[in-house]
Chain A
Amino acid sequence: MSFKIERVPAPVWMRPLFIVLAVFITFLLVSTLVLAAGASPITAFYELLIDPLTRTGARADILMLATPILFTGIAVAIAFVAGYYNVGAEGQLYAGAILAAWVGVQAEGMQPYVAIPLMLAAGFLAGMVWALVPALLKAYLSVDEVVTTLLLNSVMLFFVSALLNGPWRDPVSNWPQSPTIATSAQFPVIIPRSRVHFGAIMAVIIALATWWMLSRTRFGLELRAIGKNKDAAKFLGIPVKRRLIAAALISGGIAGLAGVSEVGGIHYYLIGTLSPGFGYTGIIVATLGALTIPGVFISALFLSLINRGSISASRELDVPVYLSDVIQAVLLLVTLATLLLTQYRIRRER
């Protein structure tokens, strides 16, 4: 009797189960860390996963935390669907934030319904511009986009630092931050006594629009075709290069909206720590969501739940708050590993 590994993809209905399995394995692995910190895993997971849902304030926090990673998750998913591995959402987010903050500062005296759309448009545009060069390099010179988009993140972070420590430093503040945007440019809060803002509505609108685009339009079908089989897509007459560039730009634009949303809805100015890696979390969100928009939606909320839960878990149990980062990272690795398993079947032979 022996075992044989065959390359047979798992049936479609089985795939969501693999994600659930990945979550389960992750919690098993993380339990060892919780034990090492001297706490009970059961209590810890109660604090992480259940407790935040029982309190109104924490529930609102989850929505607030989910907003930026829903944007970046969608941004990453669109690009990945087309087989364009944009890992530069972080930089594109900051590009959007810079231009949105600039527009916001200039918006003194404008009506909110003028100022806010202007900021959104500016942020989308800035994200697109920051995504443009890697897209062109990829389409016309086959330069690996993983390298270019990733490295441009650092360039953008240093650029933001330079701006905030130099020409754009707020004269009245001691901190390296930009001037505050006009009151009319600040996003309205949509749930009273919380920090859930208009950006959450925008994120949902973008999610619905993207879902429609990917599943119901020819453009979306062509992106999926390119992502699955570039040669065949070319054979079938799809303009592969132009579609790849389009996918990269839309991805960059949506990542830029994440920056707009953080500036307009949370901070009201630009700072160098605007994003604790929302662009990278977007990769986890998109992967966990199996590159589908409903999946991205659920995983953005799930990761925010863990994020919020880790705060109360650390307070109650004295486990480090970084537990949530560990969970995210382990979850990504385990998910990727289990997704690989969906391509194979192990058979017992006699």
Chain B
Amino acid sequence: MPVIELRGITKRFGSLVANDHVDFDVETGEIHALLGENGAGKSTLMKILYGLYQPDGGEILINGSPVHLKSPADAIANGIGFVSQHFSLVPTFTVSENVLLGHEGGFLIDKAAMKQRVTAMADSLGMNLDPDAVVGKLAVGQQQRVEILKALYRKCRVLIMDEPTAVLTPQDTEKLFETLRHLQAQGMSVIIITHKLNEVLAVSQRVTVLRLGKVVGRTATADTTQTGLAEMMVGRKTVTVVRNSEHKVGDLAKLDVRDLHMTDKRGGLLLRGLSLSARGGEIVGIAGVAGNGQSELVSVLTGMAVPQSGSVLVNVQPMPFGQPKALAKLKIARIPEDRLRGIIGDLSVADNLMLEQSDQFTSFGHLKNRQIRENAEKLIRDFQIKASPNDPARTLSGGNIQKIILARSLAQDPEVIIASQPTRGLDVGATEYVHQKLIEQKQRGAAVLLISEDLDEILVLSDRILVIYEGRIAGEFAAENADIQAIGALMTGANLSPEAGLAGA
């Protein structure tokens, strides 16, 4: 009998079906991998199991009996533990204080006993952890171990780990896997949410694959390969590509990114020598699983972040870093990942349509209101924005907000376009409109860099596809012979070996 069984779980967020009749079960003493792309519904499913979300349909059985998990407290009482990517630890408390917090027992705390217990637990899992160490001074890998101890202290029998290796170094990952095997040896079950194929193969006994909210595969890990998993995860996509071949791709790289390196505050590597180029008249798509450096690349190219080293040339001129204003002069159009960061919702549509080029609309600091209004009326007409110039921008729909961003940047006849998630959250009509505009721009001769989590979008629009993995470009495909399985494998960091039968590495 499985320790956890989810039957026909359905969860909707508005019109989006995040989980569509998902069946999922975990046996006692197994490590079960839950695999899927971003947005496949893995986290939603696990949040339902942890009582954070209530399902719209289906039932949850623990040890064969149906339960209602109304809150995480219910889930904990039923022996379920959850280690999120974002730890909930008190940095100024010690390891044992953090483990105990919320479950101190009586009024008085027996410090010696509590320390002893935490040490015993840590030792049984082969963890080397000082119970008196202050958590804020521990490395990320050790903090994660504290989170695991917290779950164990609450008598958890099933531990859910959400992308546990995302923040870890390879050495820490190996240690984590050892810990998980110790847990397994003690008869506990572990669910590991991941999109990294090698981890699935390394640590799990069974794997369930989700795609677009549905279960698309359920298999024993021993019976599958990286290729097989990659195929299940990204699916067999049939993409009809309509490309206009009448325009010419230039010889010159209008955008030339060379050897970008960037680290976060804790020294984690975000970009590791990323280089790429885009010529006039082509759309270069960046495919990849979220969190592999796309956001950082976009931040650098849109003037919002400064890399540690590397250079960017636009039409052979060096692009200054961290100066959004300078980018307009280099004729770089920017479509930001989060469109609400591209507009100021409380200002009018007309103001939003001129702020990026405010020099053109001021004389000696005084706003030229007539020109601002005429500019707004023209762009509203040309880009079919459903709004009047004086409307506050926040009252517009997502599609119309995106049109404001497109209008003001594309009206400048850009040389280079950085489009990050340009259609995220848009309806079909608006998506088509954005695609059409990007194709028009490439035919005009602009170099378009398209960064998207939507692989279909990349496949439909791009002339060349680059795969980003762990902060650098892991492979390149021409659009004509893009091999979806090979792209999927590269995206997930699979080791491409000849016997795996993959091309394009």
Contacts and interface: CB of A to CB of B under 8 A. Distances in A.
Interface of A: 12, 216-219, 221-222, 224-225, 228-229, 231-239
Interface stretch (B150-158, B344-352, B463-471): B344-352
Nearest to A218: B362
Contacts of A219: 365
Contacts of B361: 218
Contacts of A224: 346-347
B342 interface: yes
Interface in B12-32: none
Interface residues on B, range: 20 to 34
Given A229-B345, A237-B325, A217 B304 contact: no
Given A218-B367, A229-B345, 10 more contacts: A224-B347, A225-B347, A225-B355, A228-B346, A232-B342, A234-B324, A235-B334, A236-B344, A236-B355, A237-B323
A234 B344 contact: no
A160 B340 CA distance: 47
Nearest to A11: B395
Interface of B: 302-304, 323-325, 327-328, 334, 336, 340-347, 351, 355-356, 358, 361-362, 365-367, 369, 392
A222 B361 CA distance: 13
22 contacts: A216-B367, A217-B365, A218-B365, A218-B366, A218-B367, A219-B365, A221-B355, A221-B367, A224-B347, A225-B355, A228-B344, A228-B347, A229-B340, A232-B341, A232-B342, A234-B304, A235-B304, A235-B342, A236-B324, A236-B355, A237-B328, A238-B355
Nearest to B325: A237
A238 B359 CA distance: 11
SS class of chain A's interface: helix, strand, loop or mixed?
Answer: helix
A232 B344 CA distance: 6
Contacts of B341: 229, 231-232, 235
Contacts of B343: 229, 232
Nearest to A231: B341
Contacts of B342: 232, 235-236
Contact of A237 (B324, B346, B367): B324
Contacts of A228: 344-347
A237 B346 CA distance: 18
A216 B366 contact: yes
Contacts of A235: 302-304, 324, 334, 336, 341-342
Nearest to B395: A9
A293 to B, nearest CB: 16
9 nearest CB pairs, A to B: A237-B325, A237-B324, A228-B346, A218-B362, A229-B344, A236-B355, A231-B341, A225-B344, A228-B344
A280 B347 CA distance: 29
Contacts of B328: 237
A236 B345 contact: no
B338 to A, nearest CB: 9
Nearest to A216: B367
A228 B327 CA distance: 23
A235 B305 CA distance: 11
A231 B344 CA distance: 9
Given A218-B367, A221-B355, A238-B355, A233 B344 contact: yes
A236 B365 CA distance: 17
Contacts of A233: 344
Nearest to A9: B394
A224 B351 CA distance: 11
Contacts of B365: 217-219
A233 B346 CA distance: 12
| Max count, chain B CB within 10 A of own CB: residue among A12, A232, A233 | A232
A224 B324 CA distance: 19
Contacts of A218: 358, 361-362, 365-367
Contacts of B323: 237
Contact of B356 (A229, A231, A237, A239): A237
A236 B347 contact: no
Contacts of B324: 234-237
Contacts of A239: 325
Contacts of B355: 221, 225, 236, 238
Contacts of A216: 366-367, 369
